[in-house]
A and B are shown apart, each in its own frame.
Chain A
Amino acid sequence: MRTDPILRVCNLSKRFGGVNAVYDVSFYLYEGETLGIIGPNGSGKSTLINLITGFVKPDSGKVYFRGRDITGITPDKAVSLGIARSFQLVRPFYNMAVYKNLVIPLYSPRVRKLKGGKYGDRDEVAIHLLEEVGFERDSQVPFKTAGTLPHGYMKRLELARCLSLQPEVVILDELFSGMSMSEIASMLPLLEKINREEGRTLIMVEHRLRELFRVVGKVIVLNFGMKIAEGTPAEVMEVEEVRKAYLGSEVEAGA
C-alpha cells in the first residue's frame, strides 16, 4: 500500500445559479505526480481549481490534502499548507517593479516560517527566482514596472510567484495560453525540473494539449462540469466521448 494521496477530491460540486459548474468530480493524486485537467471552454476547469484552492466554496463534496480535510479553506491557508496556484488571467501588481511583485509572496507566513529572511534579502531572492523562470540576467527587465511587461513575461512572473511560495502542489491555470511556441518550449524543461528534481506535485489546466501531454502523466477530462474520462494522455485520447466532446478535429489534424 502507498501512503495517503497528497490531494484527494471527492464528489465535488458547485452550482452557479442554475448551472452545474462542477458536478460530482472526484480524483486523487500522489506526491510527485503530474495531472492535466482538460476540457472545452466553460467545462468547469477553472472552477475546479478555485474550489480546491479556496477561492470558491463548494456546495458539496470534500477536498483532502495529505488525508486532512481542507474543504472550504481560505486561499491564504491553502498556500500555508503548500498549495500554490497561478491565475489564468495574469494578475501582477501592475504599479510595482517586477521583482517587488515577488516580495509579497516571500513575505507570506509560509515562506517566513520555512526559511526566515529579512528586509532586503527578499529582493535578492526575488531576482534569483526571476532568473530561474527565464528573465535574462543583468537585464533591466526585473526592475521595470510589472504593467509594462509583455504577456509572456507576465505568465512567467505568475509562475515565479507560485514557485516563490515553495509549494508542494503547484496548480497552473492555463500557463501556456498566449505564449508563443518557442516560449512554451523554453518553459517545458523548467516544469520538468519543478516536478522531477524538486519533487513538486503539478496540476495543469491547459488548452494546448500537445505541449501538456509532454509534461503530465495523467489527465482528467471535464465536460459540462462532469468528469468524462481519466487516464494517461494516450488512453484519454481513445475515449469516444472525449473525441466527440472536445478533441474532435484537433485529434485528426494533430495525431
Chain B
Amino acid sequence: MVKRGYRKERLDRGIKARSDDIFAIASWRETLYLILPRAAVIVSLLAFPLLKDVLGHYWQNVMLITCTIALLALSWDLLASVGLVSLGQALFFGVGAYLAGFLSRTFGWTPLLTIPASTVAGALLCTAILFPVLRLRGIYFGLITFALPLLMMRMIEATKILGGTEGLSGLPPLPDITFELYLVITAALVCAFGFKRLMDTDYGLVLRAIRDNDRSVLASGINIQWYKAQAVFIAALPGTFAGAFLTHHYQFVGMPAFALDFSILPLTSVVIGGAGTFAGAVLGAFILVPLSEVLRAFGTLRVVIYCSFLIIFTIGLPEGIFRFIERKYHQFERVVPLEEVRA
C-alpha cells in the first residue's frame, strides 16, 4: 500500500539568516529587521504616559497594574529558568510592599528612598526566607512558595504587627501619575531586556544548566545552592519593587499585598506569553490584565470567559503567544508532500 501525505516545513527567512551574520551591521534593512520590533515596543510603551488626555485616568491605572503584574511575571520567569517553579510571587510582592510601608511609617522616609531600600532589603529578606527550601525541587518547592504568603498574611493578622488587619494607611504618595507610569514602565523594560541579556551570559548559562541537570553542574565544581540563592535574589528584585511601588501608589499597604492574585496572575501571564522568553511574560501581562478589565462589563460571567480564554490558550498554543509571533516573524511555512511511504 502506498500512502501519500503532507507535512509542514518551516524555513528561516532569508533576512533572518542574514541578520544573524555580519550583515546585521552592514545593511539598514537587516539592522531594522533586528531593531524594529524591539524599538516599536519600547517607543509605544514610553509614549503611553503622554496620551493621558486621550485615554483618561482609568486606563492609566490599568497600565500601572499591568506593568506591576509584568514585573512579577518577569520575576517568575527568571526563577523558572533556574528550575524553581514558584506558586507564590505574592511573597516578593508582599514583603516589598510591607517593607516600604514600614520604612515610611517608622522613619518618615520619602518614597524615593523607601522604594529602592525596600526593593533591595526585601529581596535579601526573601532570599533568606527561601534559602532553606532551595534544595527542594518541582512541586515541593512550589507548595512551599504557595504556603509562605498565606503564612505571612495570617501572621500579620494574628500578631497585629504592621497595622494588623487594618494595614498601614496615609503613606506618602509619589509625585504624580506620569512619573509613576514612567518609573514602572522603565522598570519593566529594564528587567525584561536585562534578564534576557543576563541569561545569555556565561552566568546565565550556569543558571540554565542547574535547571537542566543539577548533578552535572555539581560535578563541574559549582555550588548550586549558592547560585540558586543568587537567582532568587535577582528574581525577587522586580517583585519587591512592584510591591513597594504599589504601596506608595495606593498610599496604603494591607494584608491583600499577600493575596493569591499576585501569585496567580503572573504565573498565567507567563503561561500565555511563553515561558523562558521574558518578552513573553510581559506580553502575557499586557494581554491578561487589560482583558480582565474589559471583561468587567460582563459581571460574574467575566470569570467564566476569562477562564475559558486561559484554557483555550494553554491547550491551543502551549508554546505561548510570544514564541508563536517570533516564529512567524523569523520563519515561513509551506506544505510539502511527503516522499512516498510504504506502509
Contact = CB atoms under 8 A, between A and B. Distances in A.
B223 A76 contact: yes
A127 B302 CA distance: 55
Contact of B205 (A75, A100, A161): A100
Given A87-B215, A91-B215, A95-B212, A76 B222 contact: yes
Contacts of A87: 215-216, 219
B177 interface: no
Contacts of A110: 221
Interface stretch (A5-13, A77-85, A185-193): A77-85
Interface string B42-77: 000000000000000000000000000000000000
B213 A105 contact: no
Nearest to B221: A79
A111 B221 CA distance: 9
A108 interface: yes
Contact of B202 (A79, A92, A119): A119
A218 interface: no
Nearest to A117: B202
Given A76-B223, A122-B202, A104 B209 contact: yes
In this complex, the interface size class of chain B, counting residues with CB under 8 Å from chain A, is 10 to 19
Contacts of B223: 74, 76, 109
Given A96-B209, A103-B202, A79 B216 contact: no
A95 B220 CA distance: 17
Interface in A101-138: 103-111, 119, 122
21 contacts: A75-B219, A76-B218, A79-B219, A79-B220, A85-B219, A86-B219, A87-B215, A91-B216, A92-B213, A93-B209, A94-B212, A104-B205, A104-B217, A104-B220, A105-B220, A105-B222, A108-B221, A109-B223, A119-B201, A119-B202, A165-B221
B206 interface: yes
A107 B219 contact: no
B224 interface: yes
A53 B206 contact: no
Interface string B190-210: 000000000001110110110
Contacts of B215: 55, 87, 91
A80 B223 CA distance: 10
Interface in B128-184: none
A118 to B, nearest CB: 9
A95 B46 CA distance: 36
A119 B205 CA distance: 11
Contact of A107 (B203, B212, B216, B218): B203
A93 B202 contact: no
A95 to B, nearest CB: 6
Sort A-B residue pairs by CB-CB distance and give the 5 closest, nearest first: A79-B221, A108-B221, A105-B220, A75-B218, A91-B216
